[in-house]
Structures are given as structure tokens and as C-alpha cells.
Amino acid sequence: MDKTLREEGFNAIAFERRNEIGGLWAFSDDVNYTSVLKQTVCNISKFVSGFSDFPVPEDYPTFFTGSQVADYFKSYASHFDLYPHVRFGTTVEHITRNAADDSWDIHFTASGESTALSFDKVVLAHGCESVPLWPPMRDRNKFKGTVMHSQSFKR
């Protein structure tokens, strides 16, 4: 997305909560991040998964692993020089409309400091898998074993 917006002339900046490219495809031991497991295999073939301007490497298996998906995304970002336009380790706290000039103020935290930047336009790709949802479970407290959300299951 950042690449396409930049090609259209926008000074696009991506805010990434984690410290690497890959989203949920980049395995993380941190229970606060949803990620694939180390043994995850993609269930969509490489023939329909790649970007049109950056094919999946030919040596990848038809159904590639989660780490290969993350590596592919990292290769894409490197190939198109997107890393300088990503603010890693940054959590967007909220977005407000600035009535004075009709811009959008992005309020975020990075390295423990909160700040804001203004933009004409905002695209949200918020990672809907980032917040664990717990359905109601009757008598859950009666179960004597460990109860965890799948987001916390790493091994």
C-alpha cells in the first residue's frame, strides 16, 4: 500500500507497531502480538499470493511457510526501498480531525514518547487480528487447567 501511494505522489508514511515488516506472518513469542506459529504453512498457493510487480520466488514451495511469507514481504519492502518510510515500534493511539485546516492528526507513541503529525489523508490497515476476543464461556472458572486465547499460544 505504501508503495502504491508513493507512486501516486503521496508522501506516505506507514506506522508499524512491531519492529519488523511481516505483520502476523512474522513469528513473535510476545503474547501481545498475534502471529503465525513457527510451523504455519500458507493455505493459498504462491501462484495467487504474490504482488503483480514482485513475483513470489520460484524456489518457494507451492504452499510456503509463514516465515517465507514474512521474508517475501521484507524482500518487497527492500526492493522498493520502503523501509525509510516505515516508523517501526510505533503505536497509533488515536486519529482526530483538525477542523481548522481539515487535516487528520495522527497521535502516536514511539520510544515512550507521545506526539502527533498531520496528514491530508489517512489509510487504515489496522490489523484486525491484533486484539484477542473472548466469547462468553459459561462455567469457565470451573475448569482447573490453563485457559488461554490462541493469540497467546506460541508453541
Grid cell locating 101 = 485546516
Predicted confidence (pLDDT) per residue in 73-96, tens digit: 999 999 999 999 999 999 999 999
Residue pLDDT, tens place only, 93-133: 999 999 999 999 999 999 999 999 999 999 988 776 777 88
Q: For residues 93 and 122, what is the distance between their CA atoms, to the nearest angstrom?
A: 14
Q: What are the backbone dihedrals phi and psi of residue 15, each rounded to the nearest 5 degrees, phi first? A: -105, 120
DSSP label of 119: E
Q: What is the Rg, in whole angstroms, of the alpha carbon atoms belonging to the chain?
A: 19
Q: Does the structure show a pLDDT above 90 at 33?
A: no
- Is residue 48 scored above 90 in pLDDT? yes
Tell me the domains of the chain and their CATH numbers: 2-88+125-152 (3.50.50.60)
Mean pLDDT of the chain: 91
DSSP state for residue 82 in the 8-state scheme: -
State how far the Cα of 68 lies from the Cα of 66, in Å rounded to an integer.
Answer: 5
Nearest Cα neighbor of 120 from 44, 19, 11, 35 is: 11
Grid coordinates representing 133? 476476543
SS (H, E, C) 24-47: HHCCCCCCCCCCCCCCCECCCCHH
pTM: 0.84
Cβ count near 34 (within 10 Å): 19
Higher pLDDT, 125 or 26: 26
Q: What is the C-alpha to C-alpha distance for residues 141 and 19, in angstroms, rounded to an integer?
A: 36
Residue of 95, 93, 96, 98 lying closest to 114 (CA atoms): 93
